[in-house]
Amino acid sequence: MEKIRIGIAGYGNLGRGVELAIRQNEDMKLACVFTRRAPETVKLMTEGVPVYHMDDAKNMQDQIDVMILCGGSATDLPEQTPELAQYFNVIDSFDTHARIPEHFANVDKVCKENGKLAIISLGWDPGLFSLNRLYAESILPSGKTYTFWGKGVSQGHSDAIRRVDGVKKGIQYTVPVDAAMDAVRAGSQPELSTREKHQRECFVVAEDGADQEKIAETIKSMKNYFDEYDTTVHFISEEEFEAVHNKMPHGGFVMRSGKTGAGEQTHQMIEYSLKLESNPEFTASVLVAYARALNRLKAEGVTGCKTAFDIAPSYLSRLSGEELRAALL
């Protein structure tokens, strides 16, 4: 069997996650990695796989079946996905929810002009959480959907902490509020404010002689990041920070509380949750599974831009329809 040849565009945490996830899928191989850095400065974990400059990607079309884009959503993907979709079938994890329709339209246009297929906005949210919202709302049309995130590291909020004067190192955990989740599970379909759903917990290493009280106050009152939440700031030593806060765990919950039956009196509860020790490694695993789906759909002649909503689940698996029905149905 011919292995699916995967290209990785962008070699940060997510790109490394994709490299490792490919090893867990025997029907795939890593063809090459593209970077905007000087290629000779990038050291892969996989022997014998070449690293090229991103500008050379377009010359490698015959080497790659699926290109997985591993850049960031703020500035990389809005440019890179349409750019590379001229030459490749592409997968990305574009996660700026409000801009997905615009990104979709851009990528769809390029794909259709060039006979390529893209699947965008994959990962867990958007991605698996979105799928669960869709299934649950379609099955229980009368109800309310809740998404809780955490406990996990928010990069955006951690970055915000680190910009505060006197902060040497900082990390922020988003923590879902148990009482809110329990109220949802009980079926009361509560209206929950931002503050009621999540708390923010910060661990900070202060610079020598910095005013800790002032740092804490600055963080807690930061507009758009912390002011609408109950925020806790813990000052810890650099040793503790390096030992305990060196991972990128995340996760969360999608819940649908619905009512069925005569007079809609019957409570039906659907809950999906993820508890991830590594957010980028898990996101990478999702991208790689959908690379398999893309490769199959492309072989069937499908082009344009798709999302997880458009992909029948069986396309993600290595097993045949017959095997799936016998083993997993």
- Site residues, a copy of itself (CB under 8 A): 17, 20-21, 24-25, 45, 97, 100-101, 104, 121, 126, 128, 130-135, 137-142, 185, 251, 258, 260-262, 264, 266-278, 281-282, 284-286, 289, 292, 307-314, 316-318, 321-322, 324-326, 328-329
- Residue from 33, 35, 3 nearest 18 by CA: 33
Our CB check for a copy of itself shows the closer of 63 and 266 to be 266
Could you tell me the smallest distance in angstroms from the CB atom of residue 136 to a copy of itself? 9
Our CB check for a copy of itself shows the closer of 12 and 141 to be 141
Could you tell me the smallest distance in angstroms from the CB atom of residue 307 to a copy of itself? 6
Two tokens, residue 128:
């698996």
Could you tell me the smallest distance in angstroms from the CB atom of residue 2 to a copy of itself? 19
Our CB check for a copy of itself shows the closer of 198 and 256 to be 256
Our CB check for a copy of itself shows the closer of 136 and 215 to be 136
Could you tell me the smallest distance in angstroms from the CB atom of residue 124 to a copy of itself? 9
Q: Compute CA 127 distance to the chain's CA centroid, rounded to the nearest angstrom.
A: 7
Other CB atoms within a 10 A radius of the CB of residue 237 amount to 10
Two tokens, residue 277:
């020790």
The crossing angle, in degrees rounded to 10, of helices 13-23 and 279-299 is 60
d(CA 155, CA 160): 9
Could you tell me the smallest distance in angstroms from the CB atom of residue 303 to a copy of itself? 15
Our CB check for a copy of itself shows the closer of 177 and 324 to be 324
Could you tell me the smallest distance in angstroms from the CB atom of residue 309 to a copy of itself? 4
Secondary structure (3-state) at 205: strand
> Cβ distance 157 to 174 under 8 Å?
yes
Any residues with CB less than 8 A from the CB of 116 and at least 6 apart, and which?
Answer: 85, 86, 87, 88, 89, 90, 110, 303
Our CB check for a copy of itself shows the closer of 74 and 326 to be 326
d(CA 170, CA 166): 11
Strands (DSSP E) found in 36-107? 51-53, 66-69, 90-91
